[in-house]
Every structure is written in structure tokens, then in C-alpha cells.
Amino acid sequence: MKKVLAIVMAMAMIFGLAACGSAEAGKDGDTVYVGIYEPQTGDNGAGGKQEILGIQYANSICPTVELGGKTYKVELVIADNESSNDKAVSAATKLISAGCSIALGSYGSGVSMAAADTFEEAGVPAMGISCTNALVTADNDIYFRICFIDPDQGTIDANLINSMGIKNVYVLSMLGEDYGSGLASYFQKEAERLGMTVTADSFPEGNSDFTSYLTNAKNAGAEAIFAPCSTGYAQQIIAQSAAMDFIVPLVAGDTWDSGVISDACAATGKDVQVYCSTFYAEGKDVEFEKALKDWINGDQDNLKNNAGSDELSAVTLLGYDAYMVAIEALKAADSADPKAVKEALPGVNYTGITGEIKFKEGGDADRHDAFIKTYSSETQTLVYYDLFSF
Amino acid sequence: MVEFLHNNLAYLINGISVGGQYALIAIGYTMVYGILRLINFAHGDVFMIAGLMVVYMSTVLPMWLTIVLTLIMTAVLGFFIERIAYRPLRSAPRMSVMISAIGVSYLLQNCALYFTGGLAQSFPSISFLTKPVNIWGTSVIMAKVITPFLTLILIFLLLFLIKKTKIGMAMRAVSKDFETSQLMGIRINLVISVTFIIGCLLAAIGSILYFTCYPSVQPTSGGMPGLKAFVAAVFGGIGSIPGAVIGAFIIGICENIIKGGASIFGIQTNGWTTFSDAFSFALLIVILMIKPTGLFGEKSTDKV
């Protein structure tokens, strides 16, 4: 009797959960689906959520698209890739089976690369928003992207440090992470070309104790640290270097453009020097930013997804542009068919909030600008921007 | 020699402090194993939940009250985990309890995932613990300095409790022979509850010290420290409290020496640090091959 009861209860639980999952929307006659392939949990969860915010805001501004003389509602389908390469395929498959015309994302290059084959097989075009590793668009003709790439970003960061008159730099990235190790190697190449001494280390995933790495940097005589890694690790590096009183310029790539970093700088209570290269300078389009901030402040969930503040990250604005480019591609294709959208995408030329977006051969965006964001925390966080062109 | 020590003091201090934090977690593993022969996989997650409690409570309460409440609530959490997930399985095969422990571990992680939304939470700074101290030219925060001392004080208190009090005697009896002590009139459920409460209390203290040093709490934050503490407990001989503490200090110090290896020994190679975690586990394998019961482990007395 007990056995039967146990089996019945287990079945009831399974069916209960399955019922929750199957509430997915079926294919509707007058709806176009745009997939969001982003991490919402894991190391890159914070960044992924900010990128989704931009897409959702754009969707609220432009909720419909006209195809073949008929107005379609655009619905967003979100799949969480959990910042993990082995979850990439199942997240991508979810979007494909939901009937998405195009997929946007992901934040984080590794997961984007891991899903490229899946998108390619299904013929659904994917558009990277802030994944900067050069290999994302290589070896496949399905991936496009709207941001600059790491060979350029690494060069900029190396030149930034060089312009401070620094000759000895410590490079720290996460072991096995495509974004961080890729950017670190491009940086190192350029830094060595510029005649700097480079010491490189990598830390294992899930590490939270950076004191010994920072001591390594100190002992190597480093005058600056280049640490392309996700924001969770960045919090630790900033806090621990301040606690050690080892205050040198901390430089990183676009992941560090986040409210998380300014909070971490402010929390140290010291005058830390943090720089990152990024896609957009706040203050470029004040009206748009104000509307976006009002939208974020208007909803508790949005505010929570933006790390509890209305400070804008460049990825949010890029997310906005990505959605708009996707809409342009749908219009140009005049169809919701993924194959038609893919054919139309290279021809799209759109001037967005972050600048002009057009695609080069191979799917990369033709971008020539990057901004350097400077965090400074004495009493409060001040942010400065510098423009670098390449 | 003195100069060598002076240059590398930072690695050593860090190793000792992280070792102390691992020790506080490892005691929870080793005590529960000693009494129930159960590896409580949820222990690392209890450690993480304690960190989250501080994060959320400190936004509305003063810090001293937050710390006191965190210690109490973590102990209560430990009590209820045992009461709900392990006690009904007391007579079930040991494997079922272990699976239940894994279930609790994932439950806690997923609850944390739900409440934090998967984002890293910034741990508040406790002004007394984050005060910078200068030791022989190395600047560290207060938490790192007091961790080893606090750990040792707590261990002595615990050993006193186990050796000199009535409940301690009952614990020793239960760990020697579960059924016989029950026959002798020891209230076994009380003993087990106390064990869980002590283990979780120490984990909460470890958690506050750990996250003060490394101020970012994620749902998965308990994973690595929990695993390292488990390794320390096995390394020292699971079931033995002094063994777990010594194992934890050895793991903590070795780990930091490996991370700083290239710099300490002046080796000009990149990528040495890659092996810092692999080393801890390789060390475990070697020790277990030489001494299968761990450093201080008792010989297995299974009667066939």
C-alpha cells in the first residue's frame, strides 16, 4: 500500500511540474517570435539580465511589425543558458522549437559559440549583442553581431595602459572561459608589442580568494592589472585589492561596465582606479536614457534585474539596438521565415543609440569606436568617458 | 630565511585564515559523520544561506543584531533540516539518507537562486572585521587575523563540551555505538539535534568570516568551500575533530602556496596557478593511498 502511495505521489508531482512547463505559447497566426538567448543565472547572470532589459524596453516601444501588409505582434521568448556551455544547446533548441525567427544574444562569448552549430542546423539566424570573442562569427554563417570584437578591444586596453606610462602589467583571467582568455591573449600580444612586461595567471571557476593572485601581481612589480572576467569575480578583485592596500589601475573589458562595479568601488571606501572599455558613453542621448531609466524605475522587477539601481550599462543599450536591428531585418525580409531573415540581415543598415550598425563580410559589425569608462570612488562614484577610435 | 618569510607572509596569512574558515565548516561534516555515519552534503549550502541571511538582514537591522540572528537562525535551519529530511529516514538504508542530503543541498541552492535571482549579492562590510591591519609590512583585514585564533578558541570550547559535559559524553557514546547507547537510555534524537545545531553554528561563524574576506555571495558560493572542507575532513580522518582542523589548515596553506608558487620560488612560468584546486584533490588522493583512514582516522571497526 505504502509503495503504491509513494508512486502515486511521485507521479502527481511530476505531472504537476510538467503542467507548469507546457503552458508555452503555440504557434499563432499573427505573432512573430524573437528569441532571447541569454544567461539569467550563473557567473554572467547579472549582465545577461541587463541585456534582456534593453530588449524588453525596445519591445515595449516597438511591439509590432508589419510584414506583407499585415501587422504582427512581436513576442519575446526567453531561454536561460545559465552561463554554461553545456546548457547552451538545450536553451538554443528551446528557442528554435518555439518557432523564433531570429535569436538575440548571448552575453558571454563561450555560450554563443557553443550554440552556433545548433542555430546553424536549424537555419535560425543568431545575432550576438555583446559577445566580443572573434570566434563567435567565425566558421559559421549564421552568427552575426553588433558590437566590436576582442582583437580590437585587447589592443585598446593595452594602449590605454601604455598611455598611463605603465610598463609592467599583470593579466588575470578565468581558466577555460572563452571570453576572458581570448581577450587576455589579444591584450598580451599588443602589450608585449608595446614593450611591456606581462605576467599572466588564471584562476579556476568558482574561485573567490584572489589575495594570492594579487600578491603575485605585487611581487611581480605590476603597476596595473588587466582582469577580463565576469562581474562576480570583479567584485572580489576590487574589494580584495583595496583590502590589501594594493591600489593600482584595474583595467578590464566590456563586462565591467555595470552598476555592480560602481557599487563594488564605492564599497571599498578607497580611491580605487577602475577602467573598462565599453560600447556606449552615458550622456550621449540624454532623452533616450531618461526614458529608459523611467521605464526601469517604473517596475520593481526591472529594477531588481538591473542590480537594484537605474545606472545604465552599455549592454542594455546594445540590447535595445539589437532588437531594433532584428525588426529591421524582419521588415527587409518581409517574412517571419528564419531563412528569409538570415538572407536579409547582412543588408540591414540601422543607426541606433550606440551608433551606426552595418555588417561586414563574415557577420561582424563595422565598428570603429570604443569608450573607456572610468570609475572613481572617493565619496561617491564618478564616471568619466574617453573615446578611442580604431 | 627571514627575508623569504617576510616576502611571502601574505600567502601564509591568507592560507592560515582560509584554513581556519575551512576548519569551521569541516567540523560540521566530521561531527555529523562521527555520529550518524552520514555525509551531510547540504552543509556547504547551509554555509551559503548564512551568508545570504547577513546580506538581507543587514539592510534593515543593525549589524550586531544581524550577526546574532544569523547565528540563531542558521542553527535553527540545521535543526529543521535534520528533523525534516534525515530523522524520518533514521531506520532507512544509509544511502537513502545520503540522497536526501543531496536533495536538501539542491533545495537550498534553488531557494537561494529564487531569492537572489541568480545574481551575486554584495556582502556588507562589518566595520570591526574589515579594519585594515599591518603585520610586518603586509596589509590585511582584521577578519583574516582573528580567524585562526577564533577557530582555535571555538575548537577548544567544543572539545571541552565533548570531553567534559554530559551531552558530550552522550555524543561520544553515540558515535561509538549507535544502538547500544540507545539501549542505555541516551536520548538519541536530542544528541543528533545538538550535533546539527553545533555544526551549523560553526558554519555560520565561518560564513561571516569567509564572506567578510571574499564579499560576494552567490547560490553556488557554498560549493567550493564546502567541498574543500569535506576534503579537509576526510584528509584528517573523518569523524575526528582535531583531524578536520589540522586537515583544513594544511589544505588552506597548500592551496595558497600553489597559487603563489611561481612568485614564491621564483619560477618563471605562466599558468602555474591553474593547478591550485587540482593540487588539493591530488593531495587527498595521495594521503588516502598511504593512510586510507586519513591522518587521525580510527581504524574501521565494522563487525562482519
Neighbours of B227 (CB within 10 A): 18
Helix (H, G, I), strand (E, B) or coil at A165: coil
- Cell 612560468 locates to B269
Q: How far apart (Å, rounded) are the C-alpha atoms in residues B22 and A139? A: 45
Strands (E), chain B: 121-122, 132-135, 138-141, 216-217
Name the CATH architecture for the domain at A30-148+295-359.
Answer: 3-Layer(aba) Sandwich (3.40)
Nearest Cβ partner for B18 among A41, A49, A209:
A209
Q: A192 touching B, CB under 8 A?
A: no
* Tens digit of each residue's pLDDT (9 = 90 or more) over A33-48: 999 999 988 778 888 9
The answer to whether the CB atoms of B260 and A267 lie below 8 A apart is no
Alpha-carbon distance A171 to A186, whole Å?
A: 11
Q: What is the pLDDT of residues B39-59, one digit of tens each?
A: 889 999 999 999 999 999 998
User: In whole numbers, what is the pLDDT of chain A averaged over residues?
Assistant: 86
| CATH number among 3.40.50, 3.30.1490, 1.10.10, 1.10.3470, domain B2-290 | 1.10.3470
Asked if A215 is an interface residue toward chain B (Cβ–Cβ < 8 A), one would say: yes
User: CATH 3.40.50.2300 region(s) of chain A?
Assistant: 30-148+295-359, 150-278+371-389
What are the distances in angstroms from CA A383 to CA A220, A278, A376, B103, B148?
A: 30, 13, 7, 45, 40
Residues of chain B contacting residue A204, judged by C-beta atoms under 8 Å apart: 274, 276-277
Tell me which residue in A45, A202, A208 faces B216 most closely, judged by beta carbons: A208
Asked if A219 and B7 come within 8 Å (Cβ–Cβ), the reply is yes
Kind and range of the H or E run holding B115: helix B94-116
Mapping DSSP onto H, E and C, the string for A72-119 reads EEEEEEEEECCCCHHHHHHHHHHHHHCCCCEEECCCCHHHHHHHHHHH
Question: Are A209 and B14 inside 8 Å of each other by CB?
Answer: yes
How far is residue B243's CA from residue B240's CA, in Å, rounded to a whole number?
5
* pLDDT(B299) > 70: no
pLDDT at residue A95, rounded to an integer:
92
pTM attached to this predicted model: 0.80
d(CA A106, CA A110): 9
Report pLDDT for A353. 87
Identify the bridge partners of residue A222 per DSSP, sorted by sequence position: none
Residues of B in contact with A216 (CB under 8 A): 259-260, 262-263, 273
Q: What confidence score (pLDDT) does residue A21 get?
A: 47
CB count within 10 Å of CB A362 equals 15
Here the cell at position A283 is: 550622456
Bridge partners (DSSP) of residue A66 are A71
Q: Kindly identify which residue of chain A lies nearest to residue B253, measuring between CA atoms.
A: A212
pLDDT recorded at residue A389:
62
| Residue B141 forms contact with A (CB below 8 Å) | yes
pLDDT digits (tens, 9 = 90+) for A106-142: 888 889 999 999 999 999 999 999 888 888 888 888 8
Question: Among B150, B130, B126, B152, which Cα is nearest to B142's?
Answer: B130
Q: Which residues contact A2 (CB under 8 A, 6 or more apart)?
A: none
Predicted pLDDT at A26: 45
CA distance to partner chain B, nearest, from residue A28 (Å): 31
Task: Give the rounded percent of residues in chain B with a pLDDT score beyond 90.
Answer: 39
CB atoms within 10 A of CB B62: 9
Q: Name which of B25, B43, B42 is nearest B106 in CA terms.
A: B42
Confidence (pLDDT) at B70: 94
Q: Enumerate the residues of chain A whose CB falls inside 8 A of the CB of residue B263.
A: 215-216, 219-220
ipTM confidence score? 0.75
What does the pLDDT look like over B95-114, one tens digit per residue? Answer: 899 999 999 999 999 999 88
DSSP state of B151: H
Quote the pLDDT of residue A380.
42
Nearest to A243 among B122, B141, B218 (CB): B141
- Which of A220, A244, A267 lies at the smallest CB-CB distance from B139? A244
Best mutation target among B214, B220, B258, B272 (most A Cβ atoms within 10 Å) is B214
Is residue A260 within 8 Å of residue B239, measured between CB atoms?
A: no
Residue A64's φ and ψ, nearest 5 degrees, are -130, 160
Q: A274: which strand partners? A: A250, A375
If one compares A219 and B280, the residue with the highest pLDDT of the two is A219
Q: Give the gap in angstroms from C-alpha B74 to the nearest C-alpha of chain A.
A: 22
Q: Which fold has domain A150-278+371-389?
A: Rossmann fold (3.40.50)
Chain A residue closest to B219 (CA)? A42
Mean pLDDT of B103-127: 86
CB distance A208–B214 less than 8 Å?
Answer: yes
Chain B interface mutation, best of A201, A258, A299, highest count of B Cβ atoms under 10 Å? A201
> Which chain A positions have a beta carbon within 8 Å of B277's beta carbon?
204, 207
pLDDT for the residue A383: 56
Instruction: Kindly state the cell numbers that stand for A151.
Output: 582583437
**Cβ contacts (< 8 Å) between A242 and chain B: which residues?**
none
**Other Cβ atoms within 10 Å of B59 Cβ, number:** 8
DSSP state of A345: G
Residue of chain B nearest A267, judged by CA positions: B125
| CA of A123 vs chain B CAs: smallest distance (Å) | 31
CA separation for the pair A206, A110 (Å, rounded): 16
A-facing residues of B in 260-279 (CB < 8 A) are: 260, 262-263, 270-274, 276-277
Mean pLDDT of B78-87: 93
Checking if the pLDDT of B302 tops 60, the result is: no
Contacts of residue A57, Cβ cutoff 8 Å, sequence gap at least 6: A292, A295, A296, A316, A319, A320
Which of B300, B10, B42 is closest to B136 using CA atoms?
B10
DSSP code, position A359 = B
CA distances to A27, B101, B105, B108 from B89, rounded to whole Å, are 47, 11, 16, 19
pLDDT band at A384 (very low <50, low <70, confident <90, very high): low
Find the closest chain A residue to B120 by CA distance.
A232
Handedness of CA B247, B250, B254, B256 (dihedral sign): positive
Q: Mind telling me how many Å the CA of B297 is from chain A's nearest CA?
A: 29
Contact with chain A for residue B293, Cβ under 8 A: no
* Alpha carbons within 13 A on the beta-carbon side of A195: 4
Question: Does the distance separating the beta carbons of A199 and B273 come in below 8 Å?
Answer: no
Confidence of residue A378 (pLDDT cuts 50, 70, 90): low
The arithmetic mean of pLDDT across residues B272-297, rounded, is 80
Distance CA A223, CA B238 (A): 45
Average pLDDT over residues A1-26: 65
**Residues of B with CB below 8 A from A42's CB?**
118
Read off the pLDDT of residues B283-294 as tens digits, 9 standing for 90 and up.
Answer: 888 888 888 888
Q: Decide: helix, strand or coil at residue A195.
A: coil
Of B214, B218, B263, the CB nearest to A219: B263
Tell me how far apart the alpha carbons of residues A75 and A58 are, in angstroms, rounded to a whole number: 12
Average pLDDT over all residues of chain B: 86
Closest residue in A to B270 (Cα) is: A200
How distant is the Cα of B168 from the closest Cα of chain A, in angstroms?
A: 35
Grid cell 529543521 is found at B80
CB contact at 8 A, A117 and A51: no
Residue B244 and residue B226: Cα distance in Å, rounded?
13
Q: For chain B, say whether A213 makes contact (Cβ under 8 Å).
A: yes
What DSSP letter does each residue of B193-247 carry, written as one string? Answer: HHHHHHHHHHHHHHHHHHHHHS-EE-TTTTHHHHHHHHHHHHHT-TT-HHHHHHH
Any CB–CB contact under 8 A between B122 and chain A?
A: yes
Q: Is B110 on the interface with A (CB under 8 A)?
A: no
**Do the Cβ atoms of A235 and B122 come within 8 Å?**
yes
Residue A24 has pLDDT above 70, yes or no: no
Determine the residue type at B257: I
A–B CB contacts, 8 A cutoff, strictly below? 111
Supply A282's cell numbers.
Answer: 552615458
Strands of chain A, DSSP E: 31-38, 64-67, 70-80, 102-104, 126-128, 143-145, 168-174, 197-203, 224-226, 250-252, 273-278, 349-352, 355-358, 369-377, 381-389
Out of B139, B223, B262, name the one closest to residue A216 (CB). Answer: B262
A281-340 pLDDT, tens digit per residue, is 887 788 899 999 999 998 888 888 887 788 888 899 999 999 999 999 999 998 889 999
Is the link from the previous residue into A106 a cis peptide, with omega within 30 of 0? yes
Give the closest-approach CA distance of B37 to chain A in angstroms.
26
User: What cell numbers appear for B299 in the block?
Assistant: 581504524
d(CA B206, CA B196): 15
Task: Identify the pLDDT of residue A22.
Answer: 44
